[in-house]
Amino acid sequence: MTQPNPLHLASTAQQMARTAPAADAVVFNKVAMISMGVMAAASVAQVFQPLLRDLIAKRDDEHRHGWRR
């Protein structure tokens, strides 16, 4: 089974909110906003992942060789 695409989920929720009664539209809009937030968080994590990997490797190397500041 493939993973659902958060942007597709957000788009579908927004479309459903347009035709839903007011109370249901609020829920669909919240689902859309949460899905977009998940996608944004994944993008930020992807950007910072190489930096974090390098920092962790440097810390491990310093710890292994006993360098302390």
> What's the CA gap between 65 and 17, in Å, rounded?
58
Report yes or no: 26 and 13 within 8 Å, Cβ to Cβ: no
Q: Global pTM?
A: 0.63
AA identity, residue 50: P
Whether 69 shows a pLDDT value over 60: the answer reads: no
pLDDT in tens, 13-24: 889 899 989 989
pLDDT in tens, 26-65: 998 999 999 899 889 988 989 899 998 998 988 888 788 7
DSSP 3: P
